[in-house]
Structure 1
Amino acid sequence: MTTGMLAIMRLLWPLSFLLIPACATFPALDGTISDAARQAPYPTLTELPPFPAITASEDAALEARIDALQARADQLRQIDIGALQ
């Protein structure tokens, strides 16, 4: 295969994920809701319980994790990717 053909294949590969679902048959949904269901009242919504408060120790642990991840990201940014190839 030539380089041009490989480039085209690389571009068309993701397209297959869009085309395969297009082959699916969808059920006919018209008329599947009964008149009783159409006339039913809207369900009552309930409130969610409040979120638990974040404690100072959890906040400190999260800040420490953020700092560690930022330090790791800084280390990774220093790597010369070209030298690895």
Structure 2
Amino acid sequence: MNVFKAEPARTLFIGDNYFTDIIGANSIGMDTLWINKYDHEFPGEVHPDYMTEHVLDLEKLIIRGERKSSDDKSISN
């Protein structure tokens, strides 16, 4: 993050491991996208900002320009 002068609050962390990716990124203030390809329930109290079953669905999020505002975190609709 320091190398690119990135701010956690303006960074989206994309990961497929809830425990190492989502919890870790959330703990420093990053928005998170959990690639949950098996549609698991949240195994803990930390909720990702977005969730999808496939990384290619990220394009939909970018094109729609969505912001965190909905209770429905899925982007694969």
- Indicate whether the TM-score tops 0.5: no
Higher helix share: 1
TM-score (ref. length: structure 2): 0.19
Tell me which structure has the larger Cα radius of gyration.
1
TM-score (ref. length: structure 1): 0.17
Higher strand share: 2
- Higher RCO (C-alpha 8 Å, min separation 6): 2
